[in-house]
């Protein structure tokens, strides 16, 4: 409808333009005729008529050219309008086709969504039922286990009470036995103390090879154990072989240089602080004294209480607290 109105308006404009061009041509012809001076001579009229005819021919040619051009423009416009109408129709058809496709896809999507919703609802219902059944079973099992555990606890408590009662009775009976044992232990301790005092009283003091009065001297393993019980000094036992190999005893090294079992004599070398001290021809149970440092007040003592064919056995004694000499 809009295309028809546009074509009608265009045709009216072209017709109006043609009428205006005709009026202008006729006005020019009349003006030229009126402007010519009226001459009484008749020979000029043929020229006037020829000029008018020429002007009329030119006007007709001009009008024909404009009409042809307008017709050409109208044809082009019609073709454009036809192409536009065709494009609009095609677009409308494409839109209708797309709308139909979209509607079909939408319907298919709705159906698929509905199916999935139904499936999800079904799965949720089944899952809820399974969970409910599983939970109910777990609760029942837990209650059963609790009842069993409670029964066991009650039984264990009863047994513990019975054992406790019997244990208390037995303990009351054992207290007397323990008291008797304690009395026996006290008697043993008193006897051991008496034996230790007797052993210590048998020990003797001797003057060492350096003129210092030694402590108590042990002449065997039993007496050495008694000295350890007193705790006045620290003791290290040793067994020096005749091979002359140095042996570390306490903070020093001792090496047997010579052995005379027949006369109970021996020679020993003491190595300490990069110094070598040789003690020659010492007798059994003689305190062999030496100082390990300038600030030591009491000397260290080596006592050999056993001389065998291939070794000597004894101990190294050192005071527990080292006090500087004046």
Q: What pLDDT was estimated at residue 262?
A: 94
Q: Which fold has domain 205-319?
A: Tick-borne Encephalitis virus Glycoprotein; domain 1 (2.60.98)
Of 232, 250, 248, the C-alpha closest to 240 is 248
Q: What is the mean pLDDT of residues 30-49?
A: 62
Please give the sequence-ordered ranges of beta strands (E in DSSP) within the chain, or none if there are none: 204-207, 213-217, 233-241, 247-249, 252-260, 265-272, 275-283, 288-290, 300-307, 311-319
Q: What pLDDT was estimated at residue 309?
A: 93
Please report, for the chain, the start and end positions of each structural domain, with discontinuous segments joined by +: 1-35+47-152, 205-319
Q: Tell me: the pLDDT tens digits for 61-96?
A: 888 888 888 888 888 888 888 888 888 888 888 888
Which of 76-80, 167-171, 257-261 bottoms out in mean pLDDT, i.e. has the lowest?
Answer: 167-171
Q: Tell me: the pLDDT tens digits for 88-118?
A: 888 888 888 888 888 888 888 888 888 888 8
The fraction of the chain above a pLDDT of 90, given in percent, is 23
* 8 A C-beta contact, residue 198 and residue 284: no
Q: What pLDDT was estimated at residue 31?
A: 52
Q: What pLDDT was estimated at residue 4?
A: 54
Of 232, 240, 241, 236, the C-alpha closest to 251 is 236
Q: Tell me: the pLDDT tens digits for 295-324?
A: 577 889 999 999 999 999 999 999 886 644
How far apart, in Å, are the Cα atoms of 93 and each of 72, 82, 86, 90, 106?
31, 16, 10, 5, 20
Q: What pLDDT was estimated at residue 314?
A: 97
Task: Give dist(CA 92, CA 94) in Å, integer.
Answer: 5
Of 251, 247, 241, the C-alpha closest to 311 is 241
């Amino acid at each position: 409808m809009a295309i028809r109105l546009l074509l009608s308006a265009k045709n009216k404009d072209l017709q109006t333009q043609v009428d205006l061009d005709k009026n202008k041509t006729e006005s020019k012809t009349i003006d030229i005729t009126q402007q010519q001076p009226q001459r009484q001579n008749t020979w000029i009229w043929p020229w006037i008529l020829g000029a008018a005819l020429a002007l009329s021919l030119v006007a007709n040619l001009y009008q024909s050219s404009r009409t042809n051009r307008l017709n050409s423009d109208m044809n082009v416009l019609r073709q454009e309008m036809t192409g536009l109408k065709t494009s609009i129709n095609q677009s409308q058809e494409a839109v209708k086709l797309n709308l139909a496709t979209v509607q079909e896809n939408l319907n298919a999507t709705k159906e698929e969504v509905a199916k999935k919703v139904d499936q999800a609802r079904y799965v949720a219902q089944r899952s809820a039922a399974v969970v409910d059944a599983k939970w109910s079973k777990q609760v029942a099992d837990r209650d059963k286990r609790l009842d069993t555990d409670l029964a066991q606890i009650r039984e264990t408590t009863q047994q513990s009470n019975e054992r406790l009662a019997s244990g208390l009775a037995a303990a009351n009976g054992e207290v007397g036995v323990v008291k008797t044992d304690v009395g026996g232990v006290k008697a043993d301790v008193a006897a051991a103390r008496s034996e230790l005092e007797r052993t210590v009283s048998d020990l003797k003091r001797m003057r060492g090879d350096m003129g210092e009065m030694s402590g108590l001297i042990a002449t065997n393993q039993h007496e050495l154990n008694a000295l350890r019980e007193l705790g006045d000094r620290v003791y290290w036992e040793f067994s020096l072989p005749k091979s002359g190999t140095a042996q570390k005893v306490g903070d020093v090294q001792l090496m047997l240089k010579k052995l005379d079992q027949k006369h109970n004599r021996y020679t020993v070398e003491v190595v300490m602080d990069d110094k070598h001290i040789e003690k020659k021809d010492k007798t059994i149970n003689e305190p062999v004294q030496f100082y390990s440092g300038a600030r030591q007040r009491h000397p260290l003592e080596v006592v050999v209480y056993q001389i065998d064919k291939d070794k000597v056995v004894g101990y190294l004694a050192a005071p527990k607290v080292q006090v500087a000499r004046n």
